[in-house]
Amino acid sequence: MRRIAAVVLTLVMVFALTACGQSAAPASTAAAEPAVPSGVEDGVLTIAMECDYPPYNWTQYDDANGAVPISGTSGEYANGYDVMIAKRICEANGWELEIIRTDWDSLVPGVQTGAYDAVIAGQSMTADRAEVVDFAGPYLYATIVCLTLADSPYANAKGLSDLAGGSCTSQLATIWYDTMLPQIQGADIRPGAADAPAMLMALETGTVDFVCTDMPTALGAVAAYPDMVLLDFSGSDDDFEASDEDVNIGISMMKGNTALFEAINAVVLPMTTDDFNAIMADAIAVQPMNS
């Protein structure tokens, strides 16, 4: 009986050790996985933007109104809503701010590869983008609108159906061009513009009858171009169909960068729509005319 008991005890111990070994392996593997660096270990938050997308961001040639030097340039500074938000984030966390200028199509690839810590550039928090980057925020809510000229036959449009037959464009690789313009039945959609200034110039020169953009960009445009008229169909039954991901504007960073994600959210999430609108009004008030 004692020998049987000893064998049973031995087997129990073997099973127990085996079970412990099996549970420990995944834990050891998880611990070995490297954490994504925050990017601000050096005390500097490096962000990217176009510096050519007022009132979100633009380039100017002095440090007036709190503008920040653009990295790698001499005498060029970035300012705008995105810069103002970035400065708030840095002040709250004790970081310095570095701004890198790059084109729209390079924003997401750059943050994926770690060329910069984050993108603050008026990006909609779309599902497609969220598959490859993490979004903090939103740090703004942007209604979708149109712009036309005051002497245009579309200046009195009351809804999307009134724009039928008109020629139009927007900025390439944006929800404005890919998702919104196709909702206008009968619209003559022309090739997309490389950036927001090119989009506005297409309207200003009469190349198109109207353009689609978001409310902040439109407000900045009518401040810079007095002959432009804002068409806002919100609240009507003849408006753009836009989801939250279309109008929520976020701050993108590398997937898994939890430390940076939480630090940024701690600043922007407590802010209200009124807070955002007040900062945007400040940006529009100091943007260069016809920038």
231-254: pLDDT as tens digits: 999 999 999 999 999 999 999 999
| Pairwise CA distance, residues 29 & 24, whole Å | 9
In this predicted structure, the answer to whether residue 33 has a pLDDT above a threshold of 70 is: no
Cβ(52)–Cβ(59) below 8 Å: yes
> What does the pLDDT look like over 161-196, one tens digit per residue?
999 999 999 999 999 999 999 999 999 999 999 999
Cite the residue boundaries of each domain of the chain with CATH code 3.40.190.10. 44-141+246-286, 144-241
Strands 167-169 and 188-189 turn out to be parallel
Q: What's the pLDDT score for residue 35?
A: 78
Q: What's the pLDDT score for residue 9?
A: 38
Q: What's the pLDDT score for residue 10?
A: 41
pLDDT grade for 283, boundaries at 50, 70 and 90 = very high
3-state DSSP call for residue 139? Answer: strand
Pick the closest to residue 141 from 228, 268, 239, 51 (CA basis): 268
CA 228 vs CA 178, 195, 216: distances in Å: 23, 18, 14
In this structure, which amino acid lies at residue 222? Answer: V
Q: What's the pLDDT score for residue 34?
A: 55
Which DSSP state fits 183? G
Percent of the chain with pLDDT over 90: 86
Q: What is the pTM of this model?
A: 0.84
In this predicted structure, the answer to whether residue 93 has a pLDDT above a threshold of 90 is: yes
Q: 44-141+246-286 in CATH: which number?
A: 3.40.190.10
Token pair, residue 47, equals 């962000």
| Pairwise CA distance, residues 173 & 133, whole Å | 16
In this predicted structure, the answer to whether residue 285 has a pLDDT above a threshold of 90 is: yes
Strands 248-254 and 188-189 turn out to be unpaired
CA 69 vs CA 45, 61, 77, 90, 196: distances in Å: 14, 9, 4, 15, 22
* 190 φ/ψ angles, rounded to the nearest 5 degrees: -90, 170
Place of tokens 């611990």: 31
| Pairwise CA distance, residues 253 & 47, whole Å | 9
> What does the pLDDT look like over 255-275, one tens digit per residue?
999 999 999 999 999 999 999
144-241: CATH, from 3.50.50.60, 3.40.190.10, 2.60.40.420, 3.90.280.10: 3.40.190.10
